[in-house]
């Protein structure tokens, strides 16, 4: 019998799939890290600024321009305090993190200082302010505390870890092949001879299924992934199918194949 040499390398589609999933995982990680570092703090600032406009709008109708200016002189739009190095908005008994350079925590904007406009319609003043700073006209009313921000960092770390785990498997796949050299098989990073195979399970093999078979070799199960290695592209000669046929030509043991249930004739 002539020497057989079949080498099935990972298909390009395999790395496209790896790339799509890794991009999604790392993308979610960036999203969570952004919210933990910046996003949630900005949303707190937007919400607190909106509530401050509403509260000051009620006060503006009950005082004159001179009293208004004296009341706001040197005061920020949002009441804040430092908690463990964090700039926090004070909302009743609650504390919510703000961006380190929060403008609303430094001073009152011009839209608030204008007493005539605030006493006439604070919502119009808010609309002008939010347009100038490109804020949502109706911010969310759900604030985020330090616990919620910590959860974003944890989620970001988990997705980053998952991304690197998938990267490891992609690199491992890149370094492996499915091969038959004479009677020596290489599969799932292992080498063995066809004569070492005790049973071949083909129930999920073939392009119409998952393209996955398993060899039982000396009591252990070895996965044979034809969709990842070689593939079933007819234009390329169906490398995975060629590999399996070459193995079966030498193999003399048990084979488990998918059996289509027979349809029973219905009684007339």
Query: CA-to-CA distance for 229 and 8, rounded, in angstroms?
Result: 5
DSSP 223-250: EEETTTBT---GGGT-HHHHHHHHHHHH
Dihedral sign, Cα of residue 161, residue 167, residue 170, residue 172: negative
DSSP 82-140: EETTEEEEEETTEEEE--TT-STTT---HHHH-HHHHHH-HHHHHHHHHHHHT--SS--
pLDDT at 22: 98
CB 18 within 8 A of CB 173: yes
List 94's β-bridge partners, or say none: 91
Query: CA-to-CA distance for 222 and 35, rounded, in angstroms?
Result: 43
DSSP 153-204: HHHHHHHHHHHHHHHHHHHHHHT--EEEETTEEEETTEEEEGGGEEEEE-TT
For residues 167, 224, 10 and 207, what is the CA-based torsion angle, rounded to 10 degrees? -120
Query: CA-to-CA distance for 40 and 32, rounded, in angstroms?
Result: 10
Q: What is the pLDDT along the chain (268 residues), one digit of tens a residue?
A: 567 899 999 999 999 999 999 999 999 999 999 999 999 999 999 999 999 999 999 999 888 999 999 999 889 999 999 888 889 999 888 899 999 888 888 889 999 999 999 999 999 999 999 999 999 999 988 899 999 999 999 999 999 999 999 999 999 999 999 999 999 999 999 999 999 999 999 999 976 778 999 999 999 999 999 999 999 999 999 999 999 999 999 999 999 987 655 555 554 4
pLDDT at 92: 86
Element (H, E) at 215: strand 212-217
pLDDT at 247: 96
pTM check: above 0.95 = no
Angle at 124 between CA 75 and CA 45, to 5 degrees: 45
For residues 132, 116, 120 and 112, what is the CA-based torsion angle, rounded to 10 degrees? 40
CA distances from 66 to 53, 72, 126 (A): 19, 10, 21
pLDDT at 2: 61
pLDDT at 262: 59
Residue 209's CB is within 10 A of a number of other CB atoms, namely 14
pLDDT at 40: 95
Element (H, E) at 49: helix 40-60
């Amino acid at each position: 019998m002539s020497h057989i040499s079949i080498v099935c390398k990972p298909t390009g589609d395999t790395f496209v799939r790896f790339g799509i999933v890794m991009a999604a995982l790392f993308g979610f990680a960036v999203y969570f890290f952004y919210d933990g570092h910046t996003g949630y703090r900005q949303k707190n600032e937007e919400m607190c600024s909106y509530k401050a406009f509403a509260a000051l709008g009620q006060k503006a109708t009950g005082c004159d321009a001179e009293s208004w200016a004296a009341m706001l002189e040197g005061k920020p739009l949002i009441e804040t305090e430092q908690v463990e190095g964090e700039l926090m908005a004070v909302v009743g008994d609650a504390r919510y993190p703000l961006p380190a350079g929060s403008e609303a925590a430094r001073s009152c904007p011009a839209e608030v200082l204008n007493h005539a406009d605030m006493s006439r319609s604070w919502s119009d003043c808010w609309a002008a302010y939010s347009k100038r700073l490109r804020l949502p006209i109706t911010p969310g009313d759900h604030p985020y505390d330090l616990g919620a921000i910590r959860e974003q960092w944890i989620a970001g770390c988990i997705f980053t870890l998952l991304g690197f785990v998938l990267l490891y498997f992609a690199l491992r796949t890149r370094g492996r092949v499915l091969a038959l050299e004479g009677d020596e098989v290489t599969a799932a990073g292992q080498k063995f001879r066809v004569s070492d195979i005790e049973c071949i399970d083909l129930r999920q093999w073939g392009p119409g299924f998952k393209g996955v078979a398993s060899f039982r070799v000396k009591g252990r199960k070895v996965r044979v992934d034809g969709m990842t290695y070689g593939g079933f592209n007819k234009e390329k000669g169906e490398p995975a199918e060629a590999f399996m046929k070459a193995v079966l030509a030498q193999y003399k043991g048990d084979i488990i194949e998918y059996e289509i249930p027979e349809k029973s004739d219905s009684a007339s």
